[in-house]
Amino acid sequence: MEEKFIITCSIVLYKESFADLHKTIDSFLQTPFNKKLFLIDNTPSRFFEYVFNDKDIEYIAVEENIGFGSAHNLIINRINGFSKYHLILNPDVSFNIGVINNLINQLKTDENIAMIAPKVLFPNKSHQFSCRRYPSVSELLARRFFFLKPLFKTTIFKGTYRDKNLNEPFFAQYLTGCFHLYKTKDFVNLQGFDERYFLYMEDVDICRKIDSLGKKKLYYPKEEIIHVLKQGSSKSVKLFFKHTSSAIKYFLKWGF
């Protein structure tokens, strides 16, 4: 079956900044392709139902917070054979008009590349170090507890590939999940995210799943995006425990 759209995109909504979300949606809608944006609303009140109206947007009400991965997975059957490429996008990301086109051109160069992601910057244009090696327990603990960072400085340095030239493309172990551009057929074959993770670690997990398919993930810093990065688990006890729970599930699944 011939795909109806060049690209589809899904954004999961819960408690979002309207200013950031408007920038994110505008960034995607300016893409000069036949496209469809799925807004997946995890708020029980259908909070975002009448906020964004556009012919290229489809609103999906979940009416409960089912988590990040489970919400994105709701559209797997709908994009299968429906688009060539699918973008997993956070609601606090913005980018220029040519970014998606240039990333798609890179995806076309190698059948074995399942997913690509650009360089990620903070709003002040500092580097977010979004391409990483698979984490160890010690690295995650050091990232979470400031007093441990001096003890694991080398581990964190290597974990964020700072021993490599981050201005040149390379195949990374994992790419943080604020912006994942997939070949749709590969995202479908992966069956999306592992729904055992409510929030956090699902992006690491899906990169492991890409490995299991014999496919690759390309970090492509020739293109850049801006990511606000909420870092909720460092500010909320509830989210901290969700992050911890996800980390335990990850290491039990893939090994310590």
Q: pLDDT per residue over 227-252, tens digit each?
A: 998 755 445 778 888 888 999 999 99
Q: Which two tokens stand for residue 42?
A: 């995890």
Contact 224, 102 (CB under 8 A): no
According to DSSP, residue 136 is labeled P
* Nearest one of 193, 183, 196 to 251, comparing CA atoms: 196
CB contact set of 109 (below 8 Å; sequence gap of 6+): none
DSSP per-residue codes, 220-239: EEEEEEEE----GGGT-HHH
CA dist 188 to 43, 92, 254, Å?
Answer: 26, 25, 21
pLDDT of residue 138: 78
The answer, as to whether pTM is greater than 0.85, is yes
pLDDT of residue 2: 63
Q: Which are the contacts of 176, defined by CB distance < 8 A and separation ≥ 6?
A: 117, 120, 128, 130, 131, 132, 203
The one-letter amino acid code at 115 reads: M
CA 147 to mean position of chain CA atoms: 29
17 contacts: CB under 8 Å, gap ≥ 6: 91, 92, 228
Sign of CA dihedral 75, 180, 217, 132: negative
Q: What is the pLDDT of residue 235?
A: 54
- The segments of the chain whose pLDDT lies below 50 read 1, 233-234
Domains plus CATH for the chain?
A: 5-123+165-229 (3.90.550.10)
State the pLDDT at residue 78.
95
Alpha helices in the chain (DSSP H): 18-29, 68-73, 76-79, 99-107, 137-144, 153-159, 184-189, 202-212, 237-254
Distance (Å, whole) CA 114 – CA 104: 11
